[in-house]
Structure 1
Amino acid sequence: MSQTPEELSHALIDAARKAGAESADAIVIRGTSVSVDVRNGALEMAERSEGSDLGLRVFLGQRQAIVSSSDARPETMQAMAERAVAMAKEAPEDPYAGLADPAQLARDWNYDALELFDPTPEPTPEALKQDALAAEAAAAAVEGVSQVSDAGAGYGEHRVHMAATNGFSGGYARTGRSVSCVAISGTGTGMERDYDGDSRCFQSDLRGPTEIGRTAGERAVQLVGARKPETGTYPVLFDERISSSLIGHLMAASNGAAIARGSSWLKDAMGQQVLPKHLSVVEDPHRARVAGSRPFDAEGLPTQRRAIVENGMLTGWTLDLSSARKLGMVSTANAARGVSSPPSPSNWNLALTQGEQSREDLLRDMGTGLLVTSMIGSTINPNTGDYSRGASGFWVENGEITHPVNECTIAGNLRDMLMRIIPGNDARTYLSRVVPSLLIEGMTLAGN
């Protein structure tokens, strides 16, 4: 019988001690995933993968080294530990490296309250195929859809366990179920594509495949006849589908690793206003049935709800132990890691304060401008916050959508842009990033 992730993580720690490590931590991820893609009413691809990934980090004083493997045999784990210790002996000293103090560690948590694991049986490949076929058929049935380029369904189950010589030992499991569809309208150089999809921890929460396929088809048809808009300065409404990217840029700039490097346009903004005064950004890693939830971070610290921006004011950085030590601060329990890399700061579930207006209200109020539903490429200057992205969507005249647009670029400065955002009330509250449509006035638009 194969060892559990908990048993494997402790075996790695024991092997590290025997190899001469002064301290160590280990992470084991065991996963199963099944995915099915269909095309033209027939199965195109069915794939199943199962495996365990092991990661070991060892310390010799302030020197650290990391090794990983997918082989869980005892002799392999022994070789991993010996190799890691040999590497650590040659590694440069890092004064900020090291495990958490035992007093910082998570001790008690209510994993069941997070509801990350769906106890219902794993869906069969046939059930996944039928979901994919239903999505494809619904998209193809939309008048104006010329083809369905992708339709698929998937399932995943992952179990994670971490252990360390400082006394931490903890793990959790999560499941994921998804359906997606990409539809194409038009022909030749006039082809346009759009998509819809859903991903949830629980099968029962997943939107129906027919709805997903139909929405993908309708979105693609709406883009037929897209053309470049006029160059100028206009209000831009970021659709709820893509508005979270703006908050993502804010989070990247407040990441402790960027702050410690001095490569952030927010490096001197602690305690300053970065959003309108009535808006906050709250991180909550304890929301039930949400993919970004977790009881502890990758260094064994208890995760916590916190306001990163409160009433418009930036209140703190996103920190792991290393970046916190560099800045003379305390970790915010935001360490994330894989099996082959050290921890680094990362955000969990985020929510921006929603407004009182609907997207239709924002469209009406913006007058003439651009509704962005898709973006490509990205040129973000991390030091200045200068922002430029390719965009497509719909042109708005007198508060009404008149025609689709594409091949344009929107530009501005993130510090200025974020201070002018006007949120709608249409955020999907089940997502890991709950961000409504956002209106920003006075952006530069490059088209014809």
Structure 2
Amino acid sequence: MTDLLPHLEAALKFARQHGADHADAVMLRGRSRSAMIRQGQAEGLRHAESLSLGLRVFHQGRVATVSGNDVTPEALSQLAERACAMARVVPPSPDDGLADEPLMPVPASTIAKLDLFDPSGTPDTPALLDRAREMEDAALSHAGITNSSGASTSTTLQDIALATSAGFAGQYQRSGHSCGVSVLAGTGTGMQRDYALHSAVHQADLENPARLGHEAARRALARLNPTRPRTGLYPVLFDPRVSGSLLGHLAGAINGSAIVQGTSFLKDRLDEAVFGSGVTITDDPTLPRLAGSRPFDGEGTACLPLDLVKDGQLRHWLLDSRCARRLGLHASNGRASRTGGGNVHPGPSNLFLHAGTHSPEELRRDIREGVLITELMGNAINMLTGDYSRGGSGFMIRNGEIAEPVSGITVAGNLLDMFARLIPANDLNLMTGHHAPTIRIDQMSLAGD
């Protein structure tokens, strides 16, 4: 692992020399490699390296952020000088500042427990091509699969470092591996497409490529000859491939920035029942071998598990220090995210809906006529009102069983009503990248024929 902290310490030193009252700096160093196979031919071979340093300075209640990729002393001095000059002329921003409760220092054991670095190394391009070819060959081996949109694989390695003038300094390394394949079934205007993909921190946790290929083929074939249901009200099941999108809407609605601006339909619902009894939603950055885990947040604050929703009650916003101060709260809850450019904003880490007690089969057993949604399109979500409308496709549910495929439908409702009626199944599996189990919501509007 390349030691990035000396560069950050130099940037902070120059910031103080040029007049900053306080400062913090983040540095990201990344290396990535990807490969794609389409119809057996190699396409899109890429290798990239990146380096970015973001410097944020504070001067008499004002803040400025600059970034660059030259870490020589001369360049860092110029970067700090430019940031301090900007901070002298921008409007005051008194709620901006360093975190009040940084973690100092980060124990090596904390980083080790997260297990975010794969010591097996990164696969070379031939190995990536072999993995992609195995996926595509498996998918094309199915009768009825007529074309391939391609199979791709990638590997990444990133060094992340943060330092502040308050004395915090921390650095860690994370790896990532992913693979996916998309194929088409049928011919002419009756063609249907589907896909399978998976990503993991460690190669050992990555799904078998051939299995992904077979899954993509099965999904595409199952979508042939779709129909459209009658327009009406139906019970709806969201497959784990799409159910996590509802958590994404929740995360946006409880983001501290949205609460400060008053642009969320949940802005007045803290400490109230928003979900049904028994529903718990947790953001946990301490889970080993997951992509959202981290030993400290973007401001150097300790990362701890947080039940955002407990037994149906909304308990917390997602906060960085600025939003916490704007809302008159004691401190950030360790949800600050940081870009390579140095900008700070609240955001989740590993946000997941706890599993329920019933299997997906049990959840649909009493449904005489309903819909299982396996793919969503578009994003007509009004975050001020919670109104929800998205295009989708999936399968009819008839007498408790999955029936014919459907497409070209629109599913609509209001997120407040949807959250209140949400019932989770017991099939949560974070290692597959699904952050919610199958979800049942009754009485949703479907626009079809």
Q: CA deviation at 1:15?
A: 1.9
Correspondence for 1:163: 163
Report 1:185-196 matches (<5 A): 185-196=185-196
CA deviation profile, 1:131-166 (whole Å, cap 9, x unmatched): 000001011112211111020111000000011111
Residue range with higher mean Cα deviation, 46-55 or 347-356: 347-356
Output the CA distance in 2 between the equivalents of 1:341 and 1:98. Answer: 13
Correspondence for 1:221: 221
Answer yes or no: is the 8 Å Cα contact 2:148–2:183 preserved in 1.
Answer: yes
- The answer to whether the aligner puts 1:83 opposite 2:89 as a matched pair is no
- The answer to whether the aligner puts 1:121 opposite 2:121 as a matched pair is yes
Correspondence for 2:40: 41
Q: CA deviation at 1:350?
A: 2.0
Q: CA deviation at 1:128?
A: 0.6
Answer yes or no: is the 8 Å Cα contact 2:142–2:217 preserved in 1.
Answer: yes
Q: CA deviation at 1:60?
A: 0.9
Output the CA distance in 2 between the equivalents of 1:86 and 1:222. Answer: 61
Q: CA deviation at 1:177?
A: 0.9
Paired residue secondary structure (1:158) = strand
Output the CA distance in 2 between the equivalents of 1:282 and 1:300. Answer: 21
Q: CA deviation at 1:400?
A: 2.1
The amino acid across from 1:44 in the alignment is E
Answer yes or no: is the 8 Å Cα contact 1:196–1:215 preserved in 2.
Answer: yes
- Compared CA separation, residues 340 and 49, structure 1 to 2 (3 A): same
Q: CA deviation at 1:20?
A: 2.0
Identity %: 42
The amino acid across from 1:271 in the alignment is D
Answer yes or no: is the 8 Å Cα contact 1:105–1:301 preserved in 2.
Answer: yes
Q: CA deviation at 1:425?
A: 1.1
Correspondence for 2:387: 386
Paired residue secondary structure (1:150) = strand
For the aligned residue pairs, the C-alpha RMSD in angstroms reads 1.4
| Stretches of structure 2 lacking an aligned partner (at least 5 in a row) | none
Answer yes or no: is the 8 Å Cα contact 1:56–1:339 preserved in 2.
Answer: no
Output the CA distance in 1 between the equivalents of 2:434 and 2:325. Answer: 28
- Compared CA separation, residues 210 and 349, structure 1 to 2 (3 A): same
Q: CA deviation at 1:90?
A: 1.5
Residue number among 99, 104, 107 corresponding to 2:105 in the alignment: 107
| Stretches of structure 1 lacking an aligned partner (at least 5 in a row) | none
- Compared CA separation, residues 433 and 323, structure 1 to 2 (3 A): farther
Report 1:257-272 matches (<5 A): 257-272=257-272
Output the CA distance in 2 between the equivalents of 1:195 and 1:161. Answer: 36
Output the CA distance in 2 between the equivalents of 1:40 and 1:389. Answer: 32
The amino acid across from 1:227 in the alignment is T
- The answer to whether the aligner puts 1:59 opposite 2:50 as a matched pair is no
Paired residue secondary structure (1:226) = coil
Answer yes or no: is the 8 Å Cα contact 1:375–1:389 preserved in 2.
Answer: yes
The alignment covers a number of residue pairs equal to 446
What is the TM-score of this pair, normalised by structure 2? 0.97
- The answer to whether the aligner puts 1:146 opposite 2:163 as a matched pair is no
Q: CA deviation at 1:433?
A: 5.4
Output the CA distance in 2 between the equivalents of 1:389 and 1:65. Answer: 39
Output the CA distance in 1 between the equivalents of 2:433 and 2:87. Answer: 37
Output the CA distance in 1 between the equivalents of 2:98 and 2:388. Answer: 37
Correspondence for 2:444: 443
Paired residue secondary structure (2:5) = helix
CA deviation profile, 1:288-333 (whole Å, cap 9, x unmatched): 1011111110000001111111111111111000000000112111
Q: CA deviation at 1:420?
A: 0.6
Report 1:237-276 matches (<5 A): 237-276=237-276
